[in-house]
Amino acid sequence: MPVLGLGTWRMGEDPGRRAAEVKAVREAIALGYRLIDTAEMYGEGGAETVVGQAVGEALRAGDVRREELFVVSKVYPHNASRRGTREACERSLKRLGLEAVDLYLLHWRGNHPLRDTVAAMQSLVADGRIGHWGVSNFDTDDMEALMHAMGDGPGCAANQVYLSLGERGPEFSLLPWQRERGMPLMAYSPIDQGALAADEGLGELAGRLGVTAAQLALAAVISRPGVAAIPKAVRGAHLKENLAAADLRLDAATLAELDRLHPPPRRKAPLAMI
């Protein structure tokens, strides 16, 4: 899984913005983005439709091959029964125009028993409709419960949670827990929905390094081993800037300065959600 991908929340909500969003996803692919994160929730299928159109155009134009892309989608918790998960996945695949998604996540923990969702996920893997399955917004205790709900068959491949310089809570116990098990953590809202791009202290440090505050925020998140980030952007300048952040290497002095500006957690706190 690439360490930097494209988020798509807020896409597909307004038909008037659709052409610009399709263009942005196509531009992202042309620039070299290979991971695209979406969900049935975003625009109630609208974001998947945008991604499907952009990916379809890019594949037909020969900009990219299907096997080079890593497409992630998510099932709503209220759909995550044994049968509902499979049906939701089929609807998502139709909107995406794909035979399979590479990773399919339970968007957050709901009321359906985890063992039912896991059984559905594993059967989707067996049928080749998804490459891997995982979860999102699962804290350490949810992950423990998930481990108990998992029988034989492919295990959970990733957990996607809110992690940024402004929200470092998962670094305390969730990230170490996942690292011990070799399970990647996907960081959502890694620029705090754009707010970190305007963070003064970060901007000052970034200026000294010759990068932008958003780039520094992204580089800080993906400098943690086992972490991938999925910033959302529609503007071309943002798309370029964010992808380039994957190549930044932060030295020990910069990491220490970032800890001073945005201190790491000292105790366990409940997982934050956006």
Ligand X SMILES: NC(=O)c1ccc[n+]([C@@H]2O[C@H](COP(=O)([O-])OP(=O)(O)OC[C@H]3O[C@@H](n4cnc5c(N)ncnc54)[C@H](OP(=O)(O)O)[C@@H]3O)[C@@H](O)[C@H]2O)c1
Q: Which is nearer to ligand X, 112 or 232 (by Cβ)? A: 232
Output the residue with the shortest Cβ distance to ligand X: 7
Q: CB–CB of 196/217 below 8 Å?
A: yes
Handedness of CA 138, 144, 150, 156 (dihedral sign): positive
Residues contributing to the site for ligand X (CB under 6 A): 7-9, 37, 107, 136-137, 160, 188-194, 197, 214, 230-235, 238, 241-242, 274
Compute the least distance from the CB of residue 71 to ligand X, in Å. Answer: 12
Q: Which is nearer to ligand X, 121 or 234 (by Cβ)? A: 234
Per the structure block, which two tokens stand in for 144? Answer: 């423990």
Compute the least distance from the CB of residue 249 to ligand X, in Å. Answer: 18
The torsion angle over the Cα atoms of residues 203, 216, 55 and 84, rounded to 10 degrees, is -100
Compute the least distance from the CB of residue 266 to ligand X, in Å. Answer: 24
Largest CA distance in the chain: 54
Q: Which is nearer to ligand X, 118 or 165 (by Cβ)? A: 165
Question: How many angstroms separate the CA atoms of 79 and 85, rounded?
Answer: 6
Q: Which is nearer to ligand X, 128 or 270 (by Cβ)? A: 270
Tell me the CA distances in angstroms from 230 to 8, 16, 36, 120, 201, one per residue in order.
Answer: 9, 24, 8, 26, 23
Compute the least distance from the CB of residue 190 to ligand X, in Å. Answer: 5
Compute the least distance from the CB of residue 170 to ligand X, in Å. Answer: 13
Q: Which is nearer to ligand X, 119 or 213 (by Cβ)? A: 213
Q: Which is nearer to ligand X, 236 or 256 (by Cβ)? A: 236
Compute the least distance from the CB of residue 230 to ligand X, in Å. Answer: 5
Question: How many angstroms separate the CA atoms of 254 and 219, rounded?
Answer: 11
Provide the 3-class DSSP secondary structure of residue 87: helix
Per the structure block, which two tokens stand in for 241? Answer: 């800037």
Question: How many angstroms separate the CA atoms of 148 and 233, rounded?
Answer: 37
